[in-house]
Amino acid sequence: MRSNQIPPCASRTLLKRRDFLKLAGAAALVFPRLGESVAPAVPALDKPAVPAGPARPNILFIMVDEMKWNVMSCAGHALVKTPHLDRLAREGTRFATAYTVAPICTPSRYSFFTGRYAHVHGAIDNNTPPREPQVLLPAILHQQGYQTALSGKLHFIPENLAYHFDYFWSFAGEGPHRLPTWPEDVEKKHGAGAGRKLTVQPFPADPLGRGLGRLAYPKEDAQTFWITDRAVDFLGQRDKTRPFFLFVSYLDPHSPSHLCEPYWTMFDAGKMPLPSSFKQDPNQPLQSAGTHHVNDPGIVKAMTAAYLAKVTMVDDNIGRLLGHMRDQGLADNTLIVFTADHGNMLGDLNRWFKGVMYEGSARIPLLMKVPAASPQAAQFNRGAVVNEIVENIDVMPTLCELAGVPLPKQGIQGRSLTALVAGQEPGWKNRAFAERNSRMIRTRQYKLIHEPRGAGSYELYDLINDPLEMHNLIDDPARAAVVKDLAAQLEAWQKDLPPVPVIAGVAPEPAPGKASPAKKELKKEQRAKQRRGAVPADGGSTAPKGIP
């Protein structure tokens, strides 16, 4: 019964009455405990509460993982070629100064889907669930009549719920496990452990370089191709009487930097330039002590070559997907978003990966195109570049507005981008906040970073005159007033804790407490996967240990 043609998840969702939770302020929609068998459904999740109106646009939301904001030719990158993303930018809008409010997987993804900051929804790290149930974008759209599908990575906690996706094709082991996963499919074809088995591994002794290598199987069996194929499967199987919300969520270009041919040899590591802010320290060992700092120019170059090839592979697959949609006549009546959950430092300031407040980590690519018949098409679909600062929490209210779905004023912290794109938002916030261990506020000119741990410290950068963040101005007396003002804004932002929005008919998703049976089940599940070497606790990236 495991084929890509089986009925969608929701129609097979069976729940026990005793497992139902009463959720205050919302319709009593409920969920089974993890690992329990389930009985006949009370609420049929695939039956929309509200019939779809003809005006609802299809939505294709493409997310990549760990993609630096400017690694696209349309953003001026000198080496990588991304013709399909460039076309989307040319036919839509590119937001050139977009930030994630939390530069790490789970917090960022909850912020994308709730329109709320990470300290507000509470999923502040990869293994931390929201502190209370949250209203999520797929649930809102589902209630409005959308058929919902996910191919790829979600990284919500707990990981084996459907989160109102009718179809859930998992890149690893997430989801309700009713459809095949990529590890199962690749192992069926190429044997146990094939997914990550390397034939070449240039830096096996370095914790950072260990994630670099060549895969043995054909590119068509690579995870990114598989995710695209399942998205195409959905488009072929969907209920054509309803609009769809299709979330295509690639792990690439996230680590590990494992590549099939022709991508493995696509970029010459020897010809990769080093970032201007990378300085090899002769007083430090060449080999990395961990995975977030890098001192070896050879590893930076080799990892950069692999990264650019991964971005190329993602672009190739976006081309496959959008080409299919054009063939099916869907390209012009679908709202398309492309973005990333966060960036990657790629050697800037001798750092790799994300989690920090610097540009490489916190700034993200963001492209958007609306259906040709949309009233907003004249503004969105003219190849404009929006330079005002926007945040990833703005995407959810934008999609809801474009889909004609009203949102309550209370609880949604993002703002719709439609008036900004139309040039009718003179009072636009034009600033971004972000947080993980440290916090930042980015304004048109400045970025203030606050590290609250230990004795506490601040950094200040002038991004107009120092876009590479190489000169910390925190001790400049001439900027004291700027620092005081930005620090006060950071503090006020942290204290603002609006409640979960209440939307009639939309149930917040469950969030198990630390000692709940669901949490215990989740931990058991993760330990079992780690023992098998299939999926690490970070949600299935198989990244080297220590990478968040």
Return residues touching Ca ion (CB under 5 A). Answer: 65, 105, 341
Q: Which is nearer to Ca ion, 361 or 398 (CB)?
A: 361
User: Phi then psi for 203, rounded to 5 degrees?
Assistant: -125, 60
Give the shortest CB-141-to-Ca ion separation in angstroms. 23
Token pair listed for 517 = 């049976």
Alpha carbon distance 336, 344 (integer Å): 23
Spell out the residues 6+ positions from residue 485 whose beta carbon is closer than 8 angstroms to its own: none
Alpha carbon distance 467, 475 (integer Å): 19
Q: Which is nearer to Ca ion, 153 or 178 (CB)?
A: 153
Give the shortest CB-348-to-Ca ion separation in angstroms. 17
Burial of 73 (0-12, 13-18, 19+ CB in 10 A): middle
Alpha carbon distance 222, 257 (integer Å): 12
Sign for the pseudo-dihedral over CA of 65, 68, 73, 75:
positive
Residue type, 489: Q
- Is 277 in contact with 468 (CB distance < 8 Å)? yes
Q: Which is nearer to Ca ion, 108 or 143 (CB)?
A: 108
Give the shortest CB-253-to-Ca ion separation in angstroms. 10
Cβ–Cβ contacts within 10 Å for residue 48, how many? 17
Give the shortest CB-251-to-Ca ion separation in angstroms. 8
Alpha carbon distance 336, 140 (integer Å): 18
Give the shortest CB-106-to-Ca ion separation in angstroms. 8
Q: Which is nearer to Ca ion, 13 or 541 (CB)?
A: 541
Q: What share of the chain is helix, strand, coil (3-state, %, to 5)?
A: 30, 15, 55
Burial of 449 (0-12, 13-18, 19+ CB in 10 A): buried
Q: Which is nearer to Ca ion, 173 or 508 (CB)?
A: 173
Q: Regarding beta strands 432-435 and 390-391, do their DSSP bridges make them parallel or antiparallel, or are they unpaired?
A: unpaired
Give the shortest CB-539-to-Ca ion separation in angstroms. 8
Number of residue whose CB is nearest Ca ion = 105
Alpha carbon distance 68, 341 (integer Å): 10
- Is 352 in contact with 544 (CB distance < 8 Å)? no
Q: Which is nearer to Ca ion, 355 or 397 (CB)?
A: 355
Q: Which is nearer to Ca ion, 70 or 295 (CB)?
A: 70
- Is 165 in contact with 138 (CB distance < 8 Å)? yes
Token pair listed for 526 = 């993760």
Q: Which is nearer to Ca ion, 148 or 344 (CB)?
A: 344
Q: Which is nearer to Ca ion, 100 or 288 (CB)?
A: 100
Q: Which is nearer to Ca ion, 346 or 420 (CB)?
A: 346
Give the shortest CB-309-to-Ca ion separation in angstroms. 19
Alpha carbon distance 210, 230 (integer Å): 30
Give the shortest CB-114-to-Ca ion separation in angstroms. 17
CA distances from 219 to 91, 317, 343 (A): 29, 11, 24
Q: Which is nearer to Ca ion, 46 or 359 (CB)?
A: 359
Give the shortest CB-123-to-Ca ion separation in angstroms. 13
Measure CA 29 to chain center: 26
Query: In 167-256, where do the E strands start and end?
Result: 167-170, 198-200, 212-215, 244-249
Burial string for 109-148 (b: 16+ CB within 10 Å, else e) reads: bbbbbbbbbbbbbbbbbbebbbeebbbbbbbbbbbbbbbb
Give the shortest CB-479-to-Ca ion separation in angstroms. 33
Q: Which is nearer to Ca ion, 65 or 359 (CB)?
A: 65
Give the shortest CB-65-to-Ca ion separation in angstroms. 4
Give the shortest CB-196-to-Ca ion separation in angstroms. 18
Which 3 state secondary structure label does DSSP give 319? helix
Q: Which is nearer to Ca ion, 65 or 185 (CB)?
A: 65
Alpha carbon distance 192, 222 (integer Å): 15
Give the shortest CB-153-to-Ca ion separation in angstroms. 8
Give the shortest CB-254-to-Ca ion separation in angstroms. 6
* DSSP state string for 499-540: PPP--TT-PPBP---TTSHHHHHHHHHHHHHHHHTS--TTTS
